[in-house]
Structure 1
Amino acid sequence: MPVRAALRLSPLGDIWHKPALSAVAALALVLLPLYLAGRLDLVLYAAAGSMCALYGHGLPYATRAKALAWVTLGMLSGTGVALVTAALTDSIAVRVAVAAILAGLHKAVCDATRIGPPGNVVLTFIAASAAFVPQHLADVPMHLGVGVLGGVVAWAVGMAPGLIRPDGPERIAVARALEAAARLLRTRAENDRAAVRVEAGSDLHQARQAAAAAVNAAWQTLLRSGAADRRQGLRRLLVRGETAVALVSAERPRVPAAELVADADRLAAFARELRKGRRLPEPSNVDPQTAAAEQAELAGITAEERAPARRAIRRPLLDIARRWRTVLTVSGGAAVAGWASMALGVGRPYWAVVTAAAVFAANTTLSWNRALQRVVGNLLGVALFTLLVPVTRLGALALIGTVLVMQFVTEAAVTRNYWLGSVFVTTMAILMTEFAGAQPVPALVADRWLDTCVGAAAGLLACALLPDRRAAQRVRDGLDRLESAVAQEGSPPAGRDAARGRLRAALVELREAADVAAGEWWSAALPHERIAAAERAGHHRLAELAT
C-alpha cells in the first residue's frame, strides 16, 4: 500500500483560520469562567458544547444557524447517553459497547447530512470520553446544562462573523469556483500549445472534474443562502465562470491560447476581489448571444430555486436508511478495538474506540491511509505531550493556554495532512485529561500509544472484512443518471437551467462514486471506458446548455 502519498503534505487550506479562531474563542469563553469558579473538573461537559464551533464554516449563515443547532443537539444527545451509561453501570465492556454504537451512529449521520469537517470524530471523542467519567445519575442534568451553555457559546461564535460579512461563505464558494475555472482554462491553453490529446485521467480531464465540482458546490451554497436578491451579483459572477468553462469543450472551435489565459486571469482577479471582501466586481461585456444565455440561466435559476433547494435538504435524510453498513462496520470495529484494549489492561479503552471510528473512510484504500496517518500522528503527538508536560504542570493557566494553542495549530495542520493535524489533536486530547487531575505520564503515554495501534488495526480490519460491495453498482447507477441527463432536452430558460443542474450533479456524483469504488478492495471491475465517455459527453452537453 502507498506510504509516501499518504504522508505527503498539501498546501495550507484557504479558510483554516476560521474554524481555528472560532474553536479557540468558544473554548476560551468556557475555560476561563470555569477556571475562575474553580471548577475545571467540568471542562469535558463544557467542551461538548463549545467544540461545535468547529462545524459549518462553509455554510451560508442562514443555513449555518440551523446546522450548528442540530450539531449541538446531536453532540449533547450522544453525551447524555454516555453519561447515563456511566452512571448506571460499572461494566467497562458495556461502556465500550455503548460508545461503539454511538460512534457508528455519528459516522452514519455525519455522512448522510454531509456536515463536513471535522465530521464524526469530535462527536465520538466527546461521547466516548463521557462514557468513562465517574458519574452519578443526579449530576447528569447539571453536566448536560454546562454542555448546553457551551453550545450556546459555540453557536454565537459561529454566527458572529455574519455581522461583519453576511455573504462571506457565498463569496468563498464562488471564489473557489472561479479559481477552478481559471485553472481549467490555463490547463486547456497549455494542452493546446503542446497539442496534447485529452485522455481520461489527464490533467485537463481532472481539471474539468474539479471545475464541475466547484461550480456545483458554489450553486448549492448560493441556493442555500436564502437571499436571492442580495446575492444576484455573486450569481452573475458564477454564471460568467460557467460560460468560461464552456470554452474548453472539444466540440467548439478552438479558442486561441492567449484568449484562454486572459479569461483565466480575469476570473482569478474576480476571485481575489471576492476573498478580500471588496466591492463585487462587474463582469465585462460579452457578445449578445452569450449575454442572452447568461440572462436565461439566471432567470431559470430563479424559477427553479425552491424545488432544488428542498431536494438538496431531503435527499441526505433519505440516505440514512441506506447507512446500515456504515453503522455496522464502525460500531463493530470500535467495539472490537475497545474490548481488545480492555483485554490488554489499558486504562482508557475509549481512545481505541475513537481511533477505530476515525480510521473508517469511504473505501479500504482511504481507510489504510487514515490508519497510517493516525498511527504516525499519534506517536508524534505522544512525544510532543511528554515535552509539554513540564510547562502545563506549572499551573492551571499554563494548561489552559497550552490547550488553546494546540486547538489553534490543529486546524492549520490538519488542512495539510491528517497525520500532521493528529499530532496536535493527540497532544490536546491527553492534556484534556489533566483538568481532572495530574496523571502519571508513563501510564498516559503507554495507554495512548497502545490504544492507537489497537484501534487502527481493528478499524482497518473491519473495513477489509466488510467491503462496500455496492460500490460498483453505484457507479453503474451514476452512469445511467448521467447518460439520461445528457440525452434529455431542456426548453429555455427554466427547463434548460434544470437540465444544467441535473448534469452538474450527475457529473459530480459519478466521479465520487467511481473514486470510492476504485479504492475498494475486491471491488468488481469498473467500466472505465464507459465512465470516460459519459463524462466527456456530459461536459460537452453542459457546454452546449451554457452557451
Structure 2
Amino acid sequence: MPRWTLPAGYSPREWMKVGRISPTWYRRALAVLLTNSAVLYTLYGIGRLDLAFYALTGSMLVLYGHEFDLPTRVRKMAGLCVGQAASLLLVGLVAAADPGTPLLVLVGSALAAAQKLACERYRVGPPRHVVLVFLDLGILFAPGVPVSQLPLRWLTYALCAVWACGIVIAPALWYSRVGRRAWSPGDPPVEADPELLRPALRCLVGVAASGYIAELLGVGRPYWAMVTAAAVFVGTRVQHGQRALQRTVGTLLGLGVFAILDQFAKDSDLILVTLVVASGAIIEVFITANYWLGTVWVTPMALLITSLPGNATADTLIGERLIDTVVGSIIGIVVTLLTDVRPPPHQHTRPAA
C-alpha cells in the first residue's frame, strides 16, 4: 500500500515552528502601546468607554504603514483613514437601522471583500484587511445606537485615526530631516495578487457562509466566525491552510489566557483597559515568531475589547469564540478548495544578492 502524503507545500510541522522574535519588535510594540494607551486611558478618564470600539478603529491604524518611506507612508495612511471613515459611515448607519442578522451578515461580507480587494490592490499591510474587518464588524453587530449619536462616534474615530497616523509618520518625518532612512519594524513588502477579483469574491463567499452557518448554530456573535474566515483568506491556497491551522491553535490557547485575564478584568474598568493596552503590545512581540503565537494574545485582546461595554459574560464569549473559530476555519478551507483549482505553487529560493 502506498503511503499517503500531504500535497506539496503542506507541512503542519513547519507551519507551527516558532522562529526568532524580530530584533525590531519593540518599534511596533512601542507605537501600539503609545497610541492605544493614550486613547483608552483618556476615554476611561472622561467616563466614555462606550466609545472604545470607534476609538480603537482609529487608533489601530497604527499597525499599518511602517514599511514605507515618508511620501508613500503619508499616502497610504491618508487612504486608510478615508477608507475606514467610509466603512464606519456604512456600518454605523446599518447597525442603527437594525435590519436583522441575515442582512448584517451580507453587508459585513461585502465590506470584508471590499477591504481585501483594496488592501491587495494598494499593497497595504501587514496585517492587511483582517484588523479592519474585526473592528468594523464589531460595530456592525453591536447593538445599534441612534443616528443622532453617530456624529460623536465618527468624531472620536477621526481624532484617534489622526493620532495613530501621527505616530506612524513622525519617525519617517524626523529621519528624513536628518538625512537618514526611517526605521521600520522590518515588515516585508506586500506583494499584489495578480488576480484581485477572484480572491475578493472568495472572501465574500467564505465570510458570508461562515456568518450564516454560525447563525444557524445559534451563536450570538456570528461576526467572529466571519473574521476568522477573512483571516484565512490571505495569500495562496497553501497559505490558507496554514493560516487556518495557526489561527485555530492560537485561538484555543488564547481562550485559556482570556479565562485567566477576565478574572482580573472584572475587578475594575481600569484593569480591563490596562489589559487591553498590554495585550496589544504583547501581540507585536510574539507574532513576529509565528502567527499562531501572536494569536494566543490576539484572542484575549479581542474578547477584552468586546467586554468593554460589559454586554456578555466570559463563559458566553469563550463558547462563542470557540465555535466561531472552528466554523470560520473550516468554511475558509472548504471555499478555497472549491474555488481554487490551481495547483499549489512550488517553493522558490530567493537568488543570492
Cα distance in 1 for residues equivalent to 2:229 and 2:172? 37
SS at match of 1:416: coil
Structure 1 residue 114: Cα displacement: 1.3
Match of residue 83, structure 2, among 74, 79, 87: 74
Structure 1 residue 168: Cα displacement: 9.0
Structure 1 residue 164: Cα displacement: 4.4
1:73-104: CA deviation from partner (whole Å, max 9, x where unpaired): 22222222112111123310111111111111
Equivalent AA in structure 1 for residue 308 of structure 2: F
Cα distance in 2 for residues equivalent to 1:125 and 1:155? 19
1:123 has 2:146 as partner: no
**Corresponding residue for residue 405 of structure 1:** 278
Structure 1 residue 44: Cα displacement: 0.1
Structure 1 residue 468: Cα displacement: 5.9
How does 1:458-537 map onto structure 2 within 5 Å?
A: 458-467=331-340, 469=342, 517-518=345-346
Runs (4+) off by over 6 Å: none
Aligned pair count? 341
Match of residue 35, structure 2, among 19, 22, 26: 26
Match of residue 379, structure 1, among 252, 267, 272: 252
**Corresponding residue for residue 358 of structure 1:** 231
**Corresponding residue for residue 181 of structure 2:** 170
Query: Using a 3 Å threshold, how does the CA distance of structure 1 residues 25 and 172 change in structure 2: closer, same or farther?
Result: closer
Query: Using a 3 Å threshold, how does the CA distance of structure 1 residues 337 and 375 change in structure 2: closer, same or farther?
Result: same
Cα distance in 1 for residues equivalent to 2:252 and 2:82? 33
1:141 has 2:14 as partner: no
Structure 1 residue 378: Cα displacement: 0.4
Cα distance in 2 for residues equivalent to 1:7 and 1:129? 29
Equivalent AA in structure 2 for residue 156 of structure 1: G
1:160 has 2:33 as partner: no
SS at match of 2:345: helix
Structure 1: state its 5+ residue gaps.
177-213, 218-314, 473-515, 520-530
1:321-380: CA deviation from partner (whole Å, max 9, x where unpaired): x42101110010000000000000001100000000000122221111100000000001
CA contact (8 A) 1:392 1:402 kept: yes
**Corresponding residue for residue 19 of structure 2:** 10
Of Structure 1 and Structure 2, the greater helix share is in 1
Cα distance in 2 for residues equivalent to 1:169 and 1:389? 44
**Corresponding residue for residue 430 of structure 1:** 303
Cα distance in 2 for residues equivalent to 1:12 and 1:51? 22
Cα distance in 2 for residues equivalent to 1:160 and 1:90? 42
Q: TM-score, normalised by structure 1?
A: 0.59
Cα distance in 1 for residues equivalent to 2:20 and 2:315? 35
SS at match of 1:58: coil
SS at match of 1:127: helix
Query: Using a 3 Å threshold, how does the CA distance of structure 1 residues 168 and 386 change in structure 2: closer, same or farther?
Result: farther
SS at match of 1:345: coil
How does 1:123-522 map onto structure 2 within 5 Å?
A: 123-135=132-144, 136-162=146-172, 164-166=174-176, 170=181, 322-437=195-310, 439-467=312-340, 469=342, 517-518=345-346
Query: Using a 3 Å threshold, how does the CA distance of structure 1 residues 50 and 340 change in structure 2: closer, same or farther?
Result: same
1:222-281: CA deviation from partner (whole Å, max 9, x where unpaired): xxxxxxxxxxxxxxxxxxxxxxxxxxxxxxxxxxxxxxxxxxxxxxxxxxxxxxxxxxxx
Query: Using a 3 Å threshold, how does the CA distance of structure 1 residues 168 and 128 change in structure 2: closer, same or farther?
Result: farther
Pairwise CA RMSD: 2.6
Cα distance in 2 for residues equivalent to 1:466 and 1:25? 42
Cα distance in 2 for residues equivalent to 1:165 and 1:16? 19
Structure 1 residue 142: Cα displacement: 2.2
Cα distance in 2 for residues equivalent to 1:17 and 1:468? 41
SS at match of 1:518: coil
Structure 1 residue 54: Cα displacement: 0.8
**Corresponding residue for residue 51 of structure 1:** 60
CA contact (8 A) 1:96 1:339 kept: yes
CA contact (8 A) 2:69 2:182 kept: no
Equivalent AA in structure 1 for residue 345 of structure 2: A
SS at match of 1:8: coil
CA contact (8 A) 2:171 2:182 kept: no
1:105-125: CA deviation from partner (whole Å, max 9, x where unpaired): 111211121122111111111
* Structure number with higher relative contact order (C-alpha < 8 Å, ≥ 6 residues apart): 2
Cα distance in 1 for residues equivalent to 2:114 and 2:52? 24
CA contact (8 A) 1:52 1:154 kept: yes
Equivalent AA in structure 2 for residue 518 of structure 1: H
Cα distance in 2 for residues equivalent to 1:405 and 1:394? 17
Equivalent AA in structure 2 for residue 324 of structure 1: L
Cα distance in 1 for residues equivalent to 2:338 and 2:88? 30
CA contact (8 A) 2:93 2:147 kept: yes
Cα distance in 2 for residues equivalent to 1:407 and 1:169? 29
Equivalent AA in structure 2 for residue 67 of structure 1: K
CA contact (8 A) 2:232 2:243 kept: yes
SS at match of 1:38: coil
Indicate the larger mover: 371-380 or 124-133. Answer: 124-133
What is the identity percentage for the equivalent residue pairs of Structure 1 and Structure 2?
Answer: 34
Cα distance in 2 for residues equivalent to 1:454 and 1:68? 33
Equivalent AA in structure 2 for residue 384 of structure 1: V
Structure 1 residue 144: Cα displacement: 1.3
1:390-447: CA deviation from partner (whole Å, max 9, x where unpaired): 1111211111111111000101111110000111011000000111115222111000
Cα distance in 2 for residues equivalent to 1:367 and 1:108? 16
Cα distance in 2 for residues equivalent to 1:73 and 1:17? 28
1:131-161: CA deviation from partner (whole Å, max 9, x where unpaired): 1122222222221111101101101111222
Structure 2: state its 5+ residue gaps.
1-9
